[in-house]
Amino acid sequence: MSRASRSLRALRCALFVPLLGVASLFLPPVLLSQASAQAERPDLEDAGLATYLGEALTQPRIDGVPRPETVVGFDLGSWHLRPEQIETYFRRLADASPRVALEVTGHTHERRPLLLATITSARNHARLEQIRARQRALTDPELNDPELSSGIDTGDLPAVVYLAYSVHGNEPSGSNAAPIVAWQLASSRDPEVVALLDDVVILLDPVLNPDGLARFAHWANSHRGKVAVADPEHREHREPWPSGRTNHYLFDLNRDWLLARQPESRARLATFHRWRPNLLADFHEMGRRATYFFQPGVPSRTHPLTPRATVALTEEIATYHARALDRLGSLYFTEQIFDDFYYGKGSTYPDLHGAVGVLFEQASARGHRQEAPDGTVISFPFAIRNQVAASFSTLEAARALRPRLLEHQRAFYREALAEARASKLGGYVVGDDGDPARLAELVDLLRLHGVEVRPLTRALETADSTWRPGHAVVVPHAQAQARLVRAIFEERVDCPDETFYDVSAWTLPHSFGLPFAAVDSAPLADLAPGGRETADADQSRRRGSFAASPDALAYAFGWHDLWAPRALRRLLDADVRVRVALEPLDEPLEVSGTGSNDSALDSSVRGPSMLGRGTIVVPLGIQDLERDAIETLLAEVAHADGLDIVGLDSGLARARRGAVGRAGSRRLGLDLGSPSLAPLRRPTPALVVGESSAGTGSFGVSAYETGELWHLLDARYGVAVTLLEADRLARADLSRYSHLIVADGSRRGPSEPAVEAIRRWVRAGGVLIATRDAAAWAERQVLRADEGREANGGVPQEDPEARPRERAPDRLEAAAEPPERRPYGQRDADAARDLVSGALVEVELDLTHPLAFGYHRDRLTVFRRGTRVLPPARDPYSAVAVYTASPLVAGYASSENLGRLAGTPALLADRLGRGTVVRFGDNPAFRGVWHGTEKLVLNALFFGDLVDNTTGRTDD
């Protein structure tokens, strides 16, 4: 393009590209119609504020408020902003403009600050706390009871809008639009902008995911040439594993609004509940084949708990976005692909809080310029421009609909409380399952969401359980967060559709592995009195106990508690010699209550009687460390991890005093020298990461599931984990590692040299842990291939599943029935029925197996995604868990898929040589919140090499 052409094009953009669709603020109607016809996608050379703001640049400005390019050193859109550049600009902006207040709400894992800019008029800033308190009071139905005269007056109350940018780090147009939006709001003296700031308080979060954005910006900028290349094969557009989408631990932060496992999520939730905004705009990007999306989503996939009034407001707000993008000539779509079902996303979480959440998805350049399949070129400035436009159309809608948005929020909470009071459902009781730490974590999460939780004050009998004070809490239904309570606790199977953009179920007590039950409204006042008093998570958290005894020969603690594996890790790290009980150390635990909802355990059955299978024993007579040092460490562990650590005063089970050895005819447990007390070694695990293209095809692992396992071991339990590149498997010294962990990913498996190295390592004593698709190739290439090798004189036999099928796709089996004719338009719905996009299913555990130590109920709810099933068990003792005959607990799965799943293994463990191969059919660490199944992973880590060979073992 010649310099003259570029100049003409830049001038045309400056004249005809209005600000974000609040075009009436900046351009007369006659020019708007011209802009609609003449606006073009700006090229890279056109980057600059004129590209985004057009004639708005001519508005009068507050003196001294810096333009973004003067701070970062380049026109926005010509390079990708790094988080620290955005931070620097917002700090300068807050210093220069009386309309902007900046705060740090938290920090990421990589210690980057999480910023929040509050932008409104100086008049509103002077009364900001009063505005916040009144806005927050709209969500309190007691204060807004229509029978009371003290209802909140919304006449002069501004609407609150939360602008949330780039929760996925490699969807950067949002975060790069944020400084432009902020500068216009912070500096313009135009009367319409001034009026907007009087009517709206804007909470602007410029970078929801700083760690991911930093990763992506570095990649895109590192591969940007002087001449931008639009070829999709250009390296700039081929971001390597794990990509910048996720945060430090590779979590998808957009799925973490409800689960709140990550610091970024907890910080934004604190902001959300401090303000309870009326409208939240969530800015994303999607693939280059699309245009621009904004909600509403697919109508049939709106969650039934979302009021129709919320949908109606979303539809009206959409007209503002449509007008803004029409003026720019940008194409868009609604009511397709994306839905409003899972409440754990930024665009749906607000819908359960009397607000309106709106998702924006912009076709991505994934760099600076990229060619779309239709031959057009998506440029980074073009993507930024659309996000700027949608930001201001959101603000325009909020200002115009302010009275309706405020009244909608008031009505939402009034109606929710009225419905709850009229319901027969009084609430839910949740027990600690003998593990107060898990209940404490759930209570902490509920409180973060503003849910009222009360301590149980008297014993409660339900259909199959007894719940006791001190070991259970009650979550009332009749509270302001009534609809959120329903969403968290319900076990919905009557889903409105068979297709889901995300998961179809997320019942949180199941994810924590806690028993719970619905309670009728009649007895609730007696069960948990105290009005609106909220139970503190600390009320459910045990401090632990330890008392050094001169008579103790050993100390022991049970394996049932949440943090017992962390305590064991601390001991092993300190070189303490530790043993684990393969049989109950003392009289078996008796649990009150029966059935799948066993009650919370009474305090009388805690302590020594918790010493069942998996009990950790520290014999003092075999240690290299001094007794005092060990006892000091045990006292620290007991306090830090909430454990009851008891002393054992005799090596003979029958002779132990007190409750540890009870008189009677039952077996009294193990003597301290029993071979059923197995020594444990300190695990040195390696977690496979990345991708490899060695051999005949590529192999890689899921970044999500790998990150979840990394977070589980490293962040939660403090286990040092080597991140081992997939392409190093054939060359690395695997003997350094006790465990090799491979998450779901490629079904093909590593190259043959890598597989051969893994086989040798397992046979020498290593423990291979594989999940989902990785479990399939572990079965096929490690276990079966090794059997074929032994049966054929050590010569490996070709595995037909180890390479792509070469069979012609249109070849029919001779005896096959012709397929039933179906409408072409029904193909997506038919395909959805063949999927399990995320449901809760039940498995039956073998409580005697080392991988099930710490569980005392043989029924466990797991998270299920996908249709792949593990093969039948190799011997009668291999299946640690199997899916029950009727496995569905909540969510959607077709009857055909449920039939295929029923009775198949969910967790298998087999001996191979001196090592073990562990295969999970599901993801036991799903999104960092599935605490009910995470102990299965920790058992595989600490006890995996204790699995016996049950097929003709010979002793060494």
pLDDT confidence band for 669 (50 / 70 / 90): confident
Q: What letter does residue 838 receive in the DSSP assignment?
A: S
pLDDT confidence band for 823 (50 / 70 / 90): confident
Whether the per-residue pLDDT at 368 is higher than 80: the answer is: yes
CA-based radius of gyration for the chain: 30
Structure tokens at 236: 């700039």
Q: How far apart are CA 870 and CA 173, in angstroms?
A: 42
- pLDDT for the residue 828: 61
Q: How far apart are CA 342 and CA 348, in angstroms?
A: 7
Phi/psi class of residue 531: alpha, beta or left (left: φ > 0; alpha: ψ in -120 to 50)? left
Return the closest-CA partner of residue 406 out of 143, 124, 154, 131: 154
pLDDT confidence band for 796 (50 / 70 / 90): very low
pLDDT tens readout for residues 380-396: 999 999 999 999 999 99
Task: Choose the weakest-confidence range: 646-660, 684-698, 748-762.
Answer: 646-660
- pLDDT for the residue 525: 63
pLDDT tens readout for residues 285-301: 999 989 999 999 888 78
Task: Choose the weakest-confidence range: 326-335, 484-493, 725-734, 802-811.
Answer: 802-811
pLDDT confidence band for 16 (50 / 70 / 90): very low
Q: Provide the mean pLDDT of the chain.
A: 85
* Average pLDDT of the segment spanning 246-262: 96
> What are the DSSP calls for 466-482, one per residue?
EE-TTSEEEEESSSTTH
Q: Which residue has the higher pLDDT, 656 or 866?
A: 866
Task: Choose the weakest-confidence range: 152-156, 166-170, 237-241, 571-575.
Answer: 152-156
- pLDDT for the residue 63: 95
Q: Which residue has the higher pLDDT, 179 or 874?
A: 179
Three-state SS at 819:
coil
The total number of residues shown for the chain amounts to 956
Q: Provide the sign of the torsion angle of the four alpha carbons 488, 490, 496, 501, taken in this order.
A: positive
Phi/psi class of residue 240: alpha, beta or left (left: φ > 0; alpha: ψ in -120 to 50)? beta
Q: How far apart are CA 152 and CA 196, in angstroms?
A: 22
Structure tokens at 596: 């799948």
pLDDT tens readout for residues 33-70: 333 333 345 566 667 788 888 888 889 999 999 999 99
Structure tokens at 797: 């036999």
pLDDT tens readout for residues 480-502: 999 999 999 999 877 665 565 56
- pLDDT for the residue 626: 96
Cβ pair 208, 164 in contact under 8 A: yes
Return the half-sphere exposure (C-beta side, CA atoms, 13 A cut-off) of residue 939: 32
Q: Which residue has the higher pLDDT, 152 or 286?
A: 286
* Average pLDDT of the segment spanning 557-580: 97
- pLDDT for the residue 814: 41
pLDDT tens readout for residues 430-443: 999 999 999 999 99
Q: How far apart are CA 837 and CA 500, in angstroms?
A: 7
Whether the per-residue pLDDT at 467 is higher than 80: the answer is: yes
Structure tokens at 834: 């063949």
Q: How far apart are CA 26 and CA 23, in angstroms?
A: 5
Distances in whole angstroms, Cα of residue 743 to Cα of each of 225, 653, 917, 925: 36, 42, 14, 10
* Average pLDDT of the segment spanning 89-99: 98
Q: How far out from the chain centre does Cα 635 lie?
A: 34
- pLDDT for the residue 102: 98
Q: How far apart are CA 288 and CA 376, in angstroms?
A: 10
- pLDDT for the residue 534: 54
Cβ pair 826, 847 in contact under 8 A: no
- pLDDT for the residue 384: 96
Q: How far apart are CA 547 and CA 784, in angstroms?
A: 51
- Dihedral through CA 710, CA 715, CA 718, CA 723, nearest 10? 30
The b-or-e profile of 784-818 (16+ CB within 10 A means b, else e) is bbbeeeeeeeeeeeebeebeeeeeeeeeeeeeeee
Look-up: residue for tokens 């799965």? Answer: 893
Cβ pair 729, 758 in contact under 8 A: yes
> Which H or E run contains 758?
helix 752-763
> What are the DSSP calls for 258-300, one per residue?
TT--SHHHHHHHHHHHHH--SEEEEEEEE-TT--EEES---GG
> Which H or E run contains 774?
helix 773-777
Q: How far apart are CA 818 and CA 834, in angstroms?
A: 19
pLDDT tens readout for residues 304-326: 899 999 999 999 999 999 999 99
Return the closest-CA partner of residue 268 out of 339, 352, 175, 203: 203
Q: Which residue has the higher pLDDT, 314 or 531?
A: 314
Return the closest-CA partner of residue 288 out of 385, 382, 180, 224: 382
pLDDT tens readout for residues 891-942: 888 888 899 999 999 999 999 999 999 999 999 999 999 999 999 999 999 9
* Average pLDDT of the segment spanning 136-144: 84
**Sheet containing 472-476: order of strands:** 454-455, 472-476, 425-431, 516-520
Q: How far apart are CA 35 and CA 48, in angstroms?
A: 18
Please name the amino acid found at residue 954. Answer: T
Structure tokens at 546: 């330890």
Q: Provide the sign of the torsion angle of the four alpha carbons 41, 47, 51, 53, taken in this order.
A: positive
Structure tokens at 820: 């039933």
Whether the per-residue pLDDT at 953 is higher than 70: the answer is: no
pLDDT tens readout for residues 739-760: 999 999 877 889 999 999 999 9
Give whichever of 137-141, 394-398, 647-651 has the largest mean pLDDT.
394-398
Beta bridge partners of 556: 617, 646
- pLDDT for the residue 189: 96
CB atoms within 10 A of CB 189: 11
Structure tokens at 858: 């043989």
pLDDT confidence band for 653 (50 / 70 / 90): confident
Return the half-sphere exposure (C-beta side, CA atoms, 13 A cut-off) of residue 263: 19
Whether the per-residue pLDDT at 107 is higher than 50: the answer is: yes
> What are the DSSP calls for 854-895, one per residue?
T--SSEEEEEE-SS--PPPPSSTT-EEEEEEEEEEEES---H
Q: Which residue has the higher pLDDT, 950 or 663?
A: 950
Cβ pair 477, 423 in contact under 8 A: yes
pLDDT tens readout for residues 170-218: 999 999 999 999 999 999 999 999 999 999 999 999 999 999 999 999 9
